[in-house]
Amino acid sequence: MNYNIPKIKNNQDTHNRELAFGKIFEEVMLKKNRRNELDLYKLLSTDAAFKAAMQQSLRQLVS
């Protein structure tokens, strides 16, 4: 899958940017890597604070 990070990064509409980021996050972290990183998947799917912190860290990376 081709993730268009510049399109998200340069999008001035914060709502749409957050929706796109969330969609990519779910696809990459929860669907593609679930089999490879079972412990990480369990944390992301059961610990809302951990998931929010992970998303915030990744947002900073792409900003």
Stated pTM of the model: 0.51
What is the 3-class SS of 26-63, one letter each residue? HHHHHHHCCCCCHHHHHHHHHCHHHHHHHHHHHHHHHC
Burial grade of 36 (CB within 10 A; 0-12, 13-18, 19 or more): exposed
Structural contact between residues 8 and 28, judged by C-beta atoms closer than 8 angstroms: no
Residue-level pLDDT at 4: 60
> What phi and psi, each to the nearest 5 degrees, are found at residue 34?
-60, -45
**pLDDT 10s digits, 1-53:** 456 666 677 777 888 888 888 888 777 776 666 667 788 888 888 999 999 99
Q: What is the DSSP letter of 26?
A: I
